[in-house]
Amino acid sequence: MPEEIVNKVKANTKLISLDLAKLFHDPIPVAELDIKDFLHMGLLLKEADFRKHLEEFDWSKFEGKYLSVFCSTDAIIAPWAWMLITSHANKFAKEVFHLTAKEVTHELYRRNVEEHDWMQYQDKFVLLKGCGDIHVPDSIYLLVTNKLTESAKKIMYGEACSFLPVYSS
């Protein structure tokens, strides 16, 4: 019986390549809601008008999505207004945030990074992939590096054929 061919480079390497986008990206889309259109002249919060806008608004377009709720004007918004918005949006949205869409994306990455088991990289050489179709916020690379310095032997950035050393214990 012929012996199985083993790729000794792959079989014996301590190098682990991590694509942060594939590992931590949440595929659920982030929708945005700018509440300026719910305000009088985009600036004034009138309770009766505000409640009417909320009742008439089609919340179903946020079905199953993360929702970023914000106001793009300099209006002063009372805390109860955000609470009312959330009470309507929660019926459809996966989760409601009082953040920009970019901040929501960062928060979702951050949560996934915090939940990940970083000890599996104990004494390993970890390569954080630098190119991809999905943008990973720079701050997530910082957070992941903080986590990996507790366990990894080496941290590198880039691709296996061309990388930049970042950390060595």
- Residues 121-168 have pLDDT tens digits of 999 999 999 887 888 999 999 999 999 999 999 999 998 788 899 999
Please check whether residues 121 and 99 belong to one and the same domain.
no
> Final residue of a domain: which of 54, 80, 103?
103
**What mean pLDDT is predicted for residues 92-99?**
98
- Which residues, 6 or more positions from 45, have their beta carbon under 8 angstroms from its beta carbon? 39, 75, 76, 77, 78, 81
164 falls within a domain: yes
Work out how many domains the chain is built from and give that number.
2
**What mean pLDDT is predicted for residues 92-106?**
96
> Final residue of a domain: which of 50, 69, 103?
103
13 falls within a domain: no
43 falls within a domain: yes
Helices (H), the chain: 8-12, 20-24, 47-56, 79-89, 101-115, 138-148
17 falls within a domain: no
Range of the domain at 162: 117-169
Please check whether residues 97 and 123 belong to one and the same domain.
no
Report the relative pairing of strands 162-168 and 154-159 from DSSP bridges. antiparallel
136 falls within a domain: yes
State the pLDDT confidence band at 1, using cuts at 50, 70 and 90: low
* CA–CA distance, 43 with 57 (Å, rounded to integer): 19
Please check whether residues 147 and 85 belong to one and the same domain.
no
Please check whether residues 64 and 122 belong to one and the same domain.
no
pTM to 2 decimals? Answer: 0.80
Please check whether residues 161 and 133 belong to one and the same domain.
yes
Using one digit for the tens of pLDDT, what is the confidence trace for 5-47?
Answer: 655 545 556 799 999 998 887 788 999 999 999 999 989 999 9
* CA–CA distance, 149 with 86 (Å, rounded to integer): 39
Which pLDDT score is estimated for 23?
84
Which pLDDT score is estimated for 141?
95
Please check whether residues 38 and 91 belong to one and the same domain.
yes
- Of the listed ranges 5-14, 41-50, 79-88, 103-112, the least confidently predicted one is 5-14
49 falls within a domain: yes
Please check whether residues 79 and 41 belong to one and the same domain.
yes
Sheet arrangement for strand 154-159? 15-18, 125-129, 154-159, 162-168
93 falls within a domain: yes
Which pLDDT score is estimated for 20?
92
